[in-house]
Structure 1
Amino acid sequence: MSPTIGSIERMFGAMFAGLDQPTLIAAIEQSAREEAVAGARKLAAIAQLVHSAVTFDDECDRWAYDSWAEAACELGAVLNMGQMRASAQMRIAVALRDRLPKVAELFLAGRLSARLVAEITWRTCLVDDEQVLAVLDGALAQRALRWGPLSQDRLRCAIDALIERYDPDAVIRAREVINGRDFRIGAHEDPDELVTVWGKVLGCDAVVLAARIAALLKGICADDPRSEGERRSCAVGAIIQGQDHLPCRCGSPDCTASAPPASSNVVISVIADHAAVAAARQLIATEDREQQQKHAQNQAKTEPAPEAEAEPTPEPDAEPAGDPVESAPLPVGEDESPEPGPAAGPEVANPVRCLRDSGVALLPGVKVLPIVALAEAIRAGAAIKSLWLPGPDPEPHYRPSAKLAAFVRARDLFCRYPGCDVPAEHCDIDHVVPYPFGPTHASNLNCTCRTHHLGKTFAEGWQVEQLPDGTVTWTTPAGQHHTTMPGSRLLFPGWDTTTAALPPMAQPPPDPDRVAKMPKRRRTRAAEEAARIKAERECNAVQRALERQRALDQQAAEHNRQAGLPPPAPPPPDYGDDPPPF
């Protein structure tokens, strides 16, 4: 009988109860060592899997789905990770087995952490000389025992300094230095609301962009409530969307710049439930109402107050009236004629609040779009359309229609292979039972990334079954069963994705000519890796030569300055075959 959740919680809480602090510290240290040993044993098993499963065949190695990719897919299903992360685990395991045996020995003894081992195997990937690698392996094993407390940056610096001693061209530089023009969108530390954009463009392009932003900002009036920085950011968004003007938000009905912009020809689908759309619209209405009230108050302050007319003096009453009672408007929601009741008691310090579900909105790539950002998108002209739900009848052709594809991608959100997190918009829409043996229907379609799609289509031993609610069960060539649920269940649990049940379908007979249609590589995976290492080493060598020449030039200039010699004249311009421009 398996333990229940309650018993496990009690076991977890009572496992080290009553122990003193030194004993707890010793238990933590021992557990960390055991964790490292378990990780080393896992990588040793992965290395043996690569050794036995990855073949070297001139024909098969040129397949887009080669034996390495097949092993990575099966490993990813077991470890519940995508095939790229599984492939990285395979590379670490192979490096420990074939390139760094002394480091692997320390790891298997529990003396090195998995973080340290992963960094060492990556930073030494450009070393291509076996003798240098053997010496470097011994030096790393000797010094790595003292590197555990280092931060990530300090650890990389220590490893690179050791590689610099024995093979300077193997220090990874090309991937970490951005030379020339570049333009980046998004950084890993970005919040959900905003995305960082940075890069370098040509000077003439920068001037045009600045002028375009200035022209858009001139079109809004001074009463727009946004700050100068917000206006510039909104102007760049308008340029990206191809809009002709930036709508003003002053709240005045007479403002000519408040008209909505023309729709953009670029379409980005955002998945949002009804609660999220309602919350965004309520936020827009609240902000507009507040801005309109503010505009009305400003107008009332600027307009002169009308002169009061002289009122006739009332005649005195025969009998004096009681003290005058001033009437004031009651707060909104308060009863104008409250019934008499007992005196009010003390206020509750922490009243119970009613929690309201604001819903969820998702950008492509399964990135959460906050309600504030969704409201900004709706302000910018985003169209709200209900997602089409498929009926019982399949479509009569192989390629699904746009509305059927949109439903399948919204339902799945990710690649449906176990552990794979490739977003649905980067996946193929695959027939579980190949067409025409299986229909083009939502109950027979799911999102599969290109690698797992190729494996299912061409590799032997894979079996896939799908239920009407989108549940997919994979059976690997090794006989492992893995079940995945639609990604929409994680973020939209109230959405019923069940579609029509299909009649029993039989898989098509094996096609001996199927393998002939496998996409081919220009060169094998091993040749690609060797070419990459060679190119990076050559780039590093050129960069080191430039750095040495730059240092020599600086020394010569400093020597001439101290000696009082004039700086050398610049070389004459080279006009080639053209005459000088004068």
Structure 2
Amino acid sequence: MGDIADDMATAQAVIARLQAVHSDIAVLQAEEMALMTALYHLRREQQLECGVAYLDAGESTATEIGIALKVSQRSADDLIELGLGLENRYPATREAFEEGHIDLARVRAISKVLTNASDDVLDKLESKVAAYAEKAEPARVRRNANRWIKEADPEGQAERRKAAEAERYVNITAADNGTTVLDAVLPAAGGQAVFERLREMALGQVCGKDPRTISQRRADALVALADGTGRLVCQCGRDDCPRAVVGEAPVARKALVQVGVSAETLAGLQDNPALLAGFGAIDADLARQIARHARFEIITESTSTANGAPTADGVEKADAVEKTDSAVELRYRPSARIARRARAIDGSCRAPGCQVPAAASDLDHQDRFDHGDPQAGGRTTEANLGARCRRHHRLKTLADNHRNGWQVIHHSDRRVEWRTPTGESAITTPEGPDYLFPATPVPPVTVGGVPDAEPLAAVLDPGVAVMDLTEIMMVYSTPGQRRAVRRGRSKM
């Protein structure tokens, strides 16, 4: 009995300490959020005084926090928005959070439920919800708070629903090992309609011998709806499958993806990773499978390599291109060839931590284009263009105009240094060449060329719109270009 009593005392001590640590963490989370929000107010006021547009002032704060703390810009944005809510709408929740009585997860739950509540409803319920959250987990907080809001203001439910529906979205983020996570908020009826349609397809369009789980079939059914085929193809492999497609099998639309892959990898001579824009590295075999169904854009002519130096076998070609493009360089908008090349080299927005694909980004002049005298300003060339999403394009333009305290410095090899107003800095390098020109080539696993890959399952079918991109681009480069880049890296 003594051992049992000792064990219970030890467990109680551990639980008590665990609760204390959890509370301490909540206090620190509250302080961190308050500091982020304070920095946002400071930057916003400074930028408004410098003439920055009302809607844009302060938006660089999340990027600044991302550089300082090595966190994602999206995470910083979310915490700043939550902090503003605690300041302006949820005083009781803020107090409980600062005292460590509730943690960040429960603060998020309260904010999510009350975000569209009227001021009158907040006055009645916010302190009640905050007090209840001290003894309930986030799911119960959301469930009961929703019930209390409906009881307190049944007439306002329609307005709250419309406000929530206005915030609907579909988003996709990269996961591990060649997969993605689809996140969506839909109107209730629409969301249920989507799920029921996926369930019908998963149960009714394949036979009982299909090897996939019900979850896998629902995932494949969603892709089938997106790629235009509109139905699942049974994978049982039987000639007498009762669910076999009668007549010509549906053909998926071509993929709206941007993939960069070296010619050597595509030919099976190497197994270097390929670059899927907005996602990152994908394995060589998946790149080859996508390429079997892709439209190709072969880019061989170039005035420079990734580091801006002429290639060994492209000097004569570069001279010819330079003469041809001399007039184009004096125009603000780049030619299609220059734009494709610049985006292929950068791969994604060049701001720290930003994952917006280059194909969905602006092309920004790194040395400013002089509209009054194009001969004197930064020219519209591959070497002088960089991919910037709209948000970070604004940040750099304001920095160039000395209106936000930032410095954006361009170094050799297309390296870009982003220096915050407090002196913190991060340097980004082009993402494309890391995959297209690897320092250490990976030899192929299969000797003798490209292996015969099995057909892609629907979840990886080339018809799926993996990213909201605007073009398809498969980037080739000559062996001479690759050798020149490798020689340059070996000297670093």
What's the TM-score once normalised by structure 2's chain length?
0.58
Confirm or deny: 8 A CA contact 1:81 1:420 kept in the other structure. Answer: no
1:470 corresponds to which residue? 414
**Residue among 124, 129, 137 paired with 2:114:** 124
Residues 1:137 and 1:443: Cα distance change in structure 2 (over 3 Å):
same
CA RMSD, aligned part only?
Answer: 4.7
Structure 2 counterpart of 1:165, one-letter code:
E
Structure 1 counterpart of 2:290, one-letter code:
A
Residues 1:88 and 1:195: Cα distance change in structure 2 (over 3 Å):
farther
Correspondence 1:453 to 2:393: yes
Distance in 1 (CA, whole Å) between partners of 2:52 and 2:78 is 20
Correspondence 1:415 to 2:415: no
Distance in 2 (CA, whole Å) between partners of 1:376 and 1:370 is 10
Structure 2 counterpart of 1:270, one-letter code:
V
Confirm or deny: 8 A CA contact 1:431 1:446 kept in the other structure. Answer: yes
Deviation of the 1:44 alpha carbon: 1.1
**Residue among 427, 431, 435 paired with 1:487:** 431
**Number of equivalences:** 357
Confirm or deny: 8 A CA contact 1:415 1:423 kept in the other structure. Answer: yes
Q: How does 1:361-510 map to 2 (within 5 A)?
A: 361-366=274-279, 373-380=286-293, 382-383=295-296, 385=298, 389-391=302-304, 392=310, 396=326, 397=329, 398-436=332-370, 437-458=377-398, 460=403, 461-488=405-432, 494=438
**Residue among 254, 261, 273 paired with 1:272:** 261
**Residue among 187, 191, 197 paired with 1:177:** 187
Confirm or deny: 8 A CA contact 1:388 1:403 kept in the other structure. Answer: no
Distance in 1 (CA, whole Å) between partners of 2:283 and 2:240 is 21
Confirm or deny: 8 A CA contact 2:274 2:436 kept in the other structure. Answer: no
SS in 2 for 1:236: coil
1:40 corresponds to which residue? 30
Residues 1:267 and 1:39: Cα distance change in structure 2 (over 3 Å):
closer
Correspondence 1:158 to 2:144: yes
Identity %: 26
Q: Which has the larger radius of gyration?
A: 1
Confirm or deny: 8 A CA contact 2:129 2:141 kept in the other structure. Answer: no
Confirm or deny: 8 A CA contact 2:342 2:383 kept in the other structure. Answer: no
Distance in 2 (CA, whole Å) between partners of 1:226 and 1:399 is 56
Distance in 1 (CA, whole Å) between partners of 2:26 and 2:247 is 51
Confirm or deny: 8 A CA contact 1:427 1:448 kept in the other structure. Answer: yes
SS in 1 for 2:101: coil
- 1:150-196 per-residue CA deviation (whole Å, 9 max, x = no partner) reads 55xx5532332232233343655534425579999x9xx999x9683
Confirm or deny: 8 A CA contact 2:48 2:54 kept in the other structure. Answer: no
SS in 1 for 2:412: coil
Residues 1:109 and 1:368: Cα distance change in structure 2 (over 3 Å):
same
Distance in 2 (CA, whole Å) between partners of 1:47 and 1:435 is 35
Distance in 1 (CA, whole Å) between partners of 2:74 and 2:362 is 17
SS in 2 for 1:235: coil
Distance in 2 (CA, whole Å) between partners of 1:128 and 1:57 is 31
Deviation of the 1:95 alpha carbon: 0.9
**Residue among 234, 250, 263 paired with 1:235:** 250
**Residue among 135, 145, 155 paired with 2:134:** 145
2:452 corresponds to which residue? none
**Residue among 345, 357, 360 paired with 2:273:** 360
Distance in 2 (CA, whole Å) between partners of 1:441 and 1:225 is 60
**Greater relative contact order (CA < 8 Å, ≥ 6 in sequence):** 2
Residues 1:27 and 1:389: Cα distance change in structure 2 (over 3 Å):
farther
Unaligned residue ranges in structure 1 (runs of 5+): 1-19, 201-205, 242-265, 283-356, 502-582
2:223 corresponds to which residue? 197
Deviation of the 1:110 alpha carbon: 2.1
Deviation of the 1:33 alpha carbon: 2.6
Confirm or deny: 8 A CA contact 2:272 2:438 kept in the other structure. Answer: no
Q: How does 1:311-350 map to 2 (within 5 A)?
A: none
Structure 2 counterpart of 1:444, one-letter code:
N
Confirm or deny: 8 A CA contact 1:36 1:113 kept in the other structure. Answer: yes
Distance in 1 (CA, whole Å) between partners of 2:284 and 2:244 is 21
Residues 1:58 and 1:400: Cα distance change in structure 2 (over 3 Å):
closer
Distance in 1 (CA, whole Å) between partners of 2:388 and 2:379 is 17
Correspondence 1:54 to 2:44: yes
Distance in 2 (CA, whole Å) between partners of 1:408 and 1:122 is 41
Residues 1:225 and 1:111: Cα distance change in structure 2 (over 3 Å):
farther
